A and B are shown apart, each in its own frame.
Chain A
Amino acid sequence: MNNVTTTLSALQQAGTEDGHVQRASLKLREVRDASVIRIHSLDSGQVTSDLQSSEIELPTSVGQSQGRDPVVMCLRPGEWMVFSEALQASQLLEQLQVCQSKSTAIFDASDALATFRLSGKAAPWLLAKLSSLDFVGNINSGQHCARTRLGQVAVVVNYRQPGGDEPAYDLIFDRSVVRYLWDLLQHAADHAEELSATNT
């Protein structure tokens, strides 16, 4: 059997080579080869209980996210997204296998999604240009996630508890629009820095 082994990052697949933007108060880069597993269950209590013995703990409130790597985000009642840079999808699936049942679907969404990491003082303002959520005011409210639209693109935004004083976000979205969102974020970056400078 001839094996296919070549893989490209989402931006490379879309014909964009350089996946880094660095400005005075903004950094934007593509997170390559991240693993994303989605858990969808009709019985939240059961799946939470099933995972108690594993290293992965499911947050119980919508919009809550926890863990550094993997990060688990609660997107809606009965639906979670598990995100990891360190672990492969197969490893995550193995850990989560314990809760697979008739009422729970666990599946790899790594290929369906792309991830950008946005950080810096102006990052909340950049997001505020494209989404109606309150990113600026939520800086101090700890690690959390939200589903929103940036421009017209559906995005899961995970606010990472920053190590320093600069906010950082992971933007997880459909891989097919990676170039559109990359270009849009770059386009929106200029004024975001100006807004940040005048309003914070």
Chain B
Amino acid sequence: MSFVANSYRLQNGGQIDRQKPLNFSFNGDVYSGFEGDTLASALLANRVTMLSRSFKYHRPRGIFSAGEEEPNALLEIGQGARREPSCRAPMVPLREGLVARSQNGWPSLGFDVGRSIDYSHALWPAGFYNKTFKWPSWHSWEEIVRRMAGLGRPLTEADPDHYEQVNAHCDLLIVGGGPTGLAAALVAGRAGLRVMLVDQNESFGGVLNWEPYQLDGADAGQWVQSVADELASLAHVTLLPRTTVAGSYDHNVTTLLQRSSGSGWRECYWTVRPRQVLLAAGAIEQGMIFPENDRPGIMLAGAVRDYLHRYAVVPGEKVVIAANNDTAYQTALDLHQAGITVSAVVDGRVQIDAERKQQLQALGIELLAGARIAGTRGDKALREIQIEQMDGIQLGRKSCDLLAVSGGWSPRVHLFSHARGSLKFDVNSQSFHPDRLPKDFSVVGSANGTVGLAECWSETVRATEAICASLGRKAADLKLPVIDQAPVESAQVSHLAVNSRKKRQWIDLAHDVTFGDAELAVREGYVSVEHFKRYTTTGMSVDQGKTGNLNAFIALGALTGRETGSVGTTTFRPPYMPVTLSAIAAPYNGKFFAPRRLLPAHTVHQQLNGAFDDFAGWQRPECYPRVGETEQQAIQREALAVRHGVGVFDNSPIGKIEVRGPHAAEFLNRFYINNVLTLKTGKVRYGLMLNENGIIIDDGVFVRLAENHFLVHTTSGGAARITEMMEEWLQCEWPGMQVLLDDTTTQWANFTVAGPAARELLTRLGTDIDISADTLPHMSAACGQVMGLDARVVRVSFSGELSFEINIPARHAAAFLQAVLLQGEDLGITPYGIESLMVLRLEKGYLHLGSDTDGTSTPDDVGWGVVAREKATDYIGKRSLFRPANLDENRQQLVGLAPADASQPLEPGAHLLLGENRQVPARTDGWVTSACYSPNLKRPIALGVLAGGSRRMGEIVTVIDEQKRYHARVVEMVQFDKGNERLKS
């Protein structure tokens, strides 16, 4: 044995670059490793055996595995905003300056106050939080419990790194780049299929990288390299190392998380849509259930070989091996060859293969057959083990600092399970194997429970050839190398009885679930595997039972007198490994979170100092503050200017759906509560649309441009939704109707000129349309030219003023708006924003959908009940208006509100209580929906919904506005120009 000074690193061997030392820190202490190390191998090489505290009991834990199945060594990596919690140490490539910390110990990893839970463990059995923390409520304790048992701290700062996303398609997605995955890729790639080969490790090859295989008389690495080179040369093959398959979904949609190799991005999230999936993900070695089986220094036997061969690291000097199958014997052979003392192999089986016995005998390693581990000692490191016969007779103790265990191998079937494949229990291997395959999904190699490289390859070639054939390709013959040397393989795994007298045997290291917890669960009746899982939490969360599930099934079987295979299985859920939220969200955050729609005259609004805000996805000016003016002052000024002169408003986002065809009128008549059939050409009508429950979903005017041609104005931002709804009714319910629907919202810019001088302004702009009050009265429309542009002019008003909505082709919007402002200069033209318009419409008591209505509002509630009910023909939602609940006279109905004290502003959201002397707490009778100060009425005004509001005109109500309490009078909704003289002028 020859170690590098002060470390567990062997002098020679491994796939590390000893010329490139790397410094890193763990819990503030600086260590060094080499290029090619993982954080786990580098820590082990530095004899750091205790890395974490367990999830619940805060027991000392060390590295258990060499892969993504690691249940113990979850560390926090990085600093500041780049800090990442719960990284599995074996999966973290070592890099210069890497900073790692343990994450579940306070005040330090070595001395953890939380360990008191372990010492008082009898008080904290499975499900304790459902029993112990009921008073005063679970929520009083939740934060403390979560802080003590968490899986690291979430980030509090924005992630500064760049993440990528990409979609991809391929003929065949091969999951796993080990010997079977490489062979499959070679067959499919040579056949010309579009192949994606994915492996979570830095390089392809899988077990060939660390097990003692010899192929064609050479090291297996040579074959791996030649295959990888050939695949890389094929243009239709995509190789993705450092990539973990996260989940499999319907139709084989598969998500991958690729880690960067030093590019400008940190992670890339792939969504792949393969025609076929081939799972060649191998198997995960399982631990064994015995008392105190969680100490640092207890490690999977395969992981020991992995660290030995890949990193030249031996995690201990005095080794004992415990197993129930032959593969662990390879660990004994390899360690011995590396000069490490293996004092014994403890095998639960009585009948041991003669060759294995001879091998151990030749090396002087004691074999204890028909024996098991009865207990372990040591706190922060393993010191000693106790061995007993299977019948309980003690065989003595052995001093050791590494116990390599192997409880058999469980196929990596998580992805198969995501894809809804079913599993069957295999008695020989004591594990669950794929049974019924999902469509276009194949499993090969160890992932299918197949043992032996030759058998795996043979199965893989057959499966890949079948895939090629199903995709219309002929696979070329593949000459696979001769296997000259292979590690010990084992198709037989012995089921070992659990020593049920000892409670503190861990069945799930990740969630600190013990055999005692399992016993309690069964005692309380949780004998169904799904109930058992939830009660004990085994196999849940980020671990997904990689090393815990099989143990849990064994324990449940033992406790309920059932065979392990008859216990059933739980459902593995995606993601297989935790996926960074930033990768899922990328790039749709910040300014790309959602499309920001810009008005066609956006730049002109910018020049006018528009105060922009988001309105249903559109960036629109709320108002146009002048220098030294607040937004409130600007809104008041603009609202006054429209009433006294003329204003211009950019209403381009208003929905514009064109409805054409012989049945256009009948079609629309089925949507509106208003009669569409009687509308004459050139006329306009206001209407409400309902859903099937009679709830208002949209409002606006509709224009009859020609006999079979309508223009439907929807709410701003509602055009796509309403078009989609109309299309659905047309295609699914009324396919016989001859109707064409087209959303033309952005083809037309829409500018509203409003105010007493609006007609004068439009005349100055120049139009061939007769815009006189007689020819083009309120609620009428005409097509023609304005300023030489094709235009549709609609006389409707949401401000209550004389108003013309001028629709022109959108590309001319900026120039048109500038021309309007220029022509109206001496008329005192004022651009007004959407908040100013809200003041004007509130003075007129006009309904604003979304402000004055919610998901319960019916036509009755907003004063349109008579129209809705008296329409003779049927329309969507009509039937629901006659339901008793919708006819209740105490429904909340829209009313006008005026404060009793004219100096008291009303605030939207303030609650209304019927009567003058009401006190809180009380059930609300309504609330203020819209409110503002009216510069034209010179007092606050509001709309609100009130129980039975339509018959409470003149009543005084109590207004509760947070801490304030005052009174308001119920008034008519229209508070300005009640005779509508101005808009009709």
Contacts and interface: CB of A to CB of B under 8 A. Distances in A.
The answer to whether A and B assemble together is yes
B606 interface: yes
Contact of B587 (A3, A4, A187): A187
Given A2-B766, A7-B812, A153-B595, A136 B744 contact: no
Interface string A1-42: 111111110101111000000000000000000000010111
Interface in B575-625: 587-588, 591-592, 594-603, 606, 618
Contacts of A194: 263
B774 to A, nearest CB: 22
Contacts of B168: 128, 136
Given A42-B738, A131-B167, A187 B592 contact: yes
Interface stretch (B454-462, B626-634, B657-665): B657-665
A173 to B, nearest CB: 10
A183 interface: yes
Contact of A112 (B591, B601, B745, B812): B745
Contacts of B606: 15
A179 interface: yes
B788 A134 contact: no
B928 interface: no
Given A151-B592, A176-B598, A128 B815 contact: no
Interface in A103-123: 103-105, 107-113
A178 B263 CA distance: 29
A181 B809 CA distance: 22
Given A15-B606, A107-B742, A111-B748, A6 B167 contact: no
B747 A112 contact: yes
Nearest to B600: A13
Interface in B784-799: 785, 787-789
Interface residues on B, range: 35 or more
Interface in B777-818: 785, 787-789, 808-816
A129 B810 contact: no
Interface in A82-121: 102-105, 107-113
B496 interface: no
B268 interface: yes
Given A2-B819, A105-B660, A176-B618, A111 B814 contact: no
A153 B598 CA distance: 14
A169 B282 CA distance: 42
A135 B131 CA distance: 56
Interface string A175-188: 11111110110011
Given A13-B600, A152-B594, A105 B618 contact: no
B235 interface: yes
B268 A38 contact: no
B792 to A, nearest CB: 13
Given A176-B597, A180-B592, A184-B592, A102 B708 contact: yes
Nearest to A40: B740
A113 B597 CA distance: 13
Given A2-B823, A180-B595, A200 B235 contact: yes
A139 B816 CA distance: 43
Contacts of B745: 112
A10 B746 CA distance: 12
A32 B980 CA distance: 46
Contacts of A153: 595
Contact of B746 (A175, A179, A199): A175
Contacts of A129: 164-167
A131 B748 CA distance: 28
A132 interface: yes
A191 to B, nearest CB: 5
Interface in A142-200: 151-153, 174-181, 183-184, 187-188, 190-191, 194-195, 199-200
B643 to A, nearest CB: 27
Contact of B788 (A3, A15, A128): A3
A14 B602 contact: yes
Chain A contact residues: helix, strand, loop or mixed:
mixed
B271 A132 contact: yes
A137 B273 contact: no
Given A103-B738, A132-B271, A178-B598, A1 B767 contact: yes
B815 A7 contact: yes
A171 to B, nearest CB: 14
A80 interface: no
Contacts of B823: 2
Contacts of A152: 588, 594-595
From B268, B653, B768, residue with most partner A Cβ within 10 Å: B268
Nearest to B268: A191
Contacts of B740: 40-42, 103-105
B814 A199 contact: no
B235 A137 contact: no
* Interface of chain B, main secondary structure: mixed
B169 interface: yes
B129 interface: no
B396 interface: no
A4 B264 contact: no
B618 A40 contact: no
A111 B594 contact: no
A176 B809 CA distance: 13
B433 interface: no
Contacts of A136: 168-169
B595 A137 contact: no
B238 interface: yes
A3 B823 CA distance: 12
A5 B812 CA distance: 7
A112 B810 contact: yes
Contacts of A6: 812, 814-815
B167 A128 contact: yes
Contact of A188 (B238, B587, B618, B812): B587
A42 B238 CA distance: 45
B367 interface: no
Nearest to A194: B263
A184 B598 contact: no
Given A42-B738, A151-B595, A152-B594, A15 B602 contact: yes
Contacts of A104: 740
B149 interface: no
Contact of B787 (A2, A13, A111, A190): A2
B265 interface: yes
Contact of B595 (A7, A112, A177): A177
A4 B819 contact: yes
A14 B738 contact: no
B765 interface: yes
B194 interface: yes
B600 A175 contact: yes
Nearest to A7: B811
A191 B264 contact: yes
A13 B603 contact: yes
Interface in B728-762: 738, 740, 742, 744-748
A188 B166 CA distance: 10
A15 B587 CA distance: 23
Nearest to A33: B811
Contact of B598 (A38, A103, A105, A179): A179
A8 B594 contact: no
B658 to A, nearest CB: 7
Contacts of B595: 151-153, 177, 180-181
For the complex of A and B, the 9 pairs showing the least CB-CB separation, nearest first, are A3-B788, A1-B766, A6-B815, A112-B747, A134-B169, A176-B597, A111-B810, A112-B746, A111-B809
Given A111-B811, A151-B587, A151-B592, 6 more contacts: A12-B603, A13-B603, A102-B738, A132-B167, A179-B596, A191-B268
Interface of A: 1-8, 10, 12-15, 38, 40-42, 102-105, 107-113, 125, 128-129, 131-134, 136-137, 151-153, 174-181, 183-184, 187-188, 190-191, 194-195, 199-200
19 contacts: A1-B766, A1-B787, A2-B787, A8-B814, A13-B600, A15-B598, A42-B661, A42-B738, A102-B738, A105-B658, A112-B744, A129-B167, A132-B273, A151-B588, A174-B746, A179-B598, A180-B595, A183-B591, A191-B164
